[in-house]
Structure 1
Amino acid sequence: MHIDDVKIDDEFKCLCPGLTDDELRRLKANIISDGEFREPVVVWKSEEILIDGHNRHDVWWNMDGEQRKQIAPPRVLLKEFASREEAHNWIISNQLGRRNLDEKQKSYLIGKRYQAEKKDKSKNLKPGGSSGNVSSGHSDHSKKTEVVIAEEVGKSPKQVRRDEKFTEAVDTLVENIGPEVKPEILNGKEITKKKVMEIAELPADNQKDEYDRAMGRGKPSGGDSFDPAEWGGMEPVDDPVIPEDVVTEYHVKEMQAAFNEVQKRATALKKAIHELPDGPGGAWYNPNAMQDIMTCYTNLMNTIKYRKPVAVCGHCGGKKCERCYQTGALNKDQSEALREGLEATA
């Protein structure tokens, strides 16, 4: 079978984490540089439906005639499935087995799997339903679906149920805003799972504005006070990395969100100051006053820069100590001091 004859199923493609436009361009550039598609695509043999390799398929379709002459199409690996449910579950298991999934991508897939297995189990428990396995590899009907999945993926049943809520929220925003939000949510760091679920609970007409605001593209709501939650920043981590209560690099990135948004606002403030009238009748004509203002602005930006959390505390390993003021993280000043101290004693 040739790659050009493969069919695309929207439901199956939705299960595979997509790439942003920039990531697709980088993938295409890497394939052109390598001179080949290193990995094959997987196709459901009897249905001719693409099961795995959607991003590579997209790259192939976006190549021009000259590029296609230089690079052979992706190899097609044929695989048979007894039903759509079996193919659906294979895609999820295959994706979850990959090491390059980040937390949001993994949560989305776990939520999808939970939805599918709950549906299968409910169907099989009806009068006349099959007494076979709920899904391939599962035969213990005494355990709840979320317990079985939790044991396999290394999470708690509560986290599995929360992953389902996150999956529902992503699908809601895709439906109400557009398919472009899915790779932004799952591949980006700008918005947290908690914020995604909060936006999905809003009326459909309000979701896009709130989503853009959370991504740093929209206008902030009225008021002079800074609310980190308004921009998707500094919210509690949904799924703390084990061991519990130990700060990790994931948590540090969450802590940085508020600093990033304050810096954006401060930059916008500088632009607004420069756009004020500066002629003879302007309020900012006094050069001494302007110099004082810009000095204060520079001090503000330096404070933001050097107080922003940049690393897990090297003194306690994220367990929180007096050196990091019980935060588990070091800012730039502290991190540089620690590094200099280590270098001095090396």
Structure 2
Amino acid sequence: MKKYANLLGAKTIIKDQSLMRHEEIRKQIRILPELEALIPPMQPAEFSQLEENIRKEGCREALLVWETTENMLGNSSDATPIYVLIDGHNRFSICQRHGIDFKIHLTSFASLADVRFYMIDNQLGRRNLTPEQASYLRGLRYLSEKQEKGKYDRQDRKGQNVLYNDSLSVEYKGQNDPYADSVSLTDKGQNVLYAESEGGSTSEKLAQRFNVSEKTIKRDAEFAKGLSRLAPELRTSILSGRAKVNKASIQQLSRLHQPQQPLETLQELSALVSKEPQQPKPEAVPAKAESDQSEIAMLKKYLGELTRKLDREATNLTDVCDEIIRCSKQLKALLKSRPS
């Protein structure tokens, strides 16, 4: 319960003790691709461990489901209730594959925009995100807020639906939850889109919130925008670490003209960015140094998480060691590139 209490702010989890109703809802759960894309891909060892745990112990954490309507999604004027999965995609997949029962919590959001913000914040709260995944999610948050604020300004507070359409993780593991308790939660303000009274730009607010520099937030936005121009399979491979690519190439892609089709291979990406080289901005050198310093800090934190995994039982040590080696090489390269 603490997981949702900490993240949903003033949202109230809907109370309904009808097991029959929940059984029907479980059959109607819908997955929206643009929301599923906000979930960073799990490492194979992590997914296997989660699957093994669920098969042995059942699905202990309830899945969070948004009870809404078709017209809220902008698909039609139909007010028929629909049930959209917003937390627990990996658990849902495993339960469906093995025919394992699971619990659900129903919750309400004012708009699809609020759901996206909640999901991004949920993922950014994880401790084992890679630096690339964290950068991507911060960039998505920035782009989403900028786009939503633009609609807010143009439509006199009507901005509700379409946010940044493409987005990534690792499954968030929260507390065990009963079927559907009624909980009044304290508003912590994480889904307030435009807190004008706080002052400052979007990048300034996000920089303070995520403890990075304002320039890092803007570079994160370039990274997220560039990744959105890749085919989903390639984007997932990059964010999971299976495909190796220079982050600067992705950022450069964001500054080029939108390709007619999403890029499907690293070769296409390399050809495009080398064909249209971008002139560096005057601040490029110090900005890169600052970006490297931020990435070094994130890599050190991630390596610490990986090292602690070595002491856990039922851990695939081979996969963990491979990931430690990959991150160590990346950290070493960054340290060697720093000016002496």
Normalising by structure 1, we get a TM-score of 0.54
Q: CA deviation at 1:143?
A: 1.1
Q: Which residue of 2 aligns with 1:48?
A: 83
**Native 8 Å contact 1:249 1:311 kept in 2:** no
Partner Cα separation in structure 2 for residue 196 and residue 52 of structure 1: 28
Cα distance change of structure 1 residues 194 and 326 upon mapping to structure 2, 3 Å threshold: closer
Where do 5+ consecutive residues of structure 1 fail to align?
A: 215-235, 253-308, 329-346
Q: Which residue of 2 aligns with 1:222?
A: none
**1:302-317 maps to which residues of 2 (within 5 A)?**
none
1:163 aligns with 2:163: no
1:28 aligns with 2:51: yes
Cα distance change of structure 1 residues 152 and 26 upon mapping to structure 2, 3 Å threshold: same
Q: SS at 1:173's partner residue? A: coil
Q: Which residue of 2 aligns with 1:210?
A: 266
Q: CA deviation at 1:192?
A: 3.9
Q: Deviation string for 1:256-278 (max 9, x for gaps)?
A: xxxxxxxxxxxxxxxxxxxxxxx
Q: Which residue of 1 aligns with 2:280?
A: none
**1:325-344 maps to which residues of 2 (within 5 A)?**
none
Superposed CA RMSD: 4.3
Q: CA deviation at 1:167?
A: 0.9
**Native 8 Å contact 2:230 2:262 kept in 1:** no
Q: Which residue of 2 aligns with 1:183?
A: 236
The runs of at least 4 aligned residues of structure 1 exceeding 6 Å deviation read 244-248, 309-313, 324-328
1:9 to 9, 12, 32: 32
Q: Percent identity?
A: 26
Q: SS at 1:164's partner residue? A: helix
Partner Cα separation in structure 1 for residue 92 and residue 302 of structure 2: 35
Q: CA deviation at 1:137?
A: 6.7
1:140 aligns with 2:175: no
Partner Cα separation in structure 2 for residue 41 and residue 163 of structure 1: 29
Q: CA deviation at 1:8?
A: 0.8
Cα distance change of structure 1 residues 238 and 50 upon mapping to structure 2, 3 Å threshold: farther
Q: Number of residues paired by the alignment? A: 232
Partner Cα separation in structure 1 for residue 203 and residue 239 of structure 2: 22
Pick which of 143-152 and 203-212 moved more.
Answer: 203-212
Q: CA deviation at 1:147?
A: 0.7
| Structure with bigger gyration radius | 1
Normalising by structure 2, we get a TM-score of 0.55
Q: Deviation string for 1:243-264 (max 9, x for gaps)?
A: x988965899xxxxxxxxxxxx
Partner Cα separation in structure 1 for residue 156 and residue 330 of structure 2: 58
Q: SS at 1:43's partner residue? A: strand
2:141 to 113, 118, 134: 113
Q: Which amino acid aligns with 2:127?
A: R
Q: Which amino acid aligns with 1:42?
A: L
Q: Which amino acid aligns with 1:162?
A: R
**Native 8 Å contact 2:135 2:220 kept in 1:** yes
Q: Deviation string for 1:147-205 (max 9, x for gaps)?
A: 1111101111111111111111111112xxxx222321112163342233346659668
Partner Cα separation in structure 2 for residue 251 and residue 327 of structure 1: 24
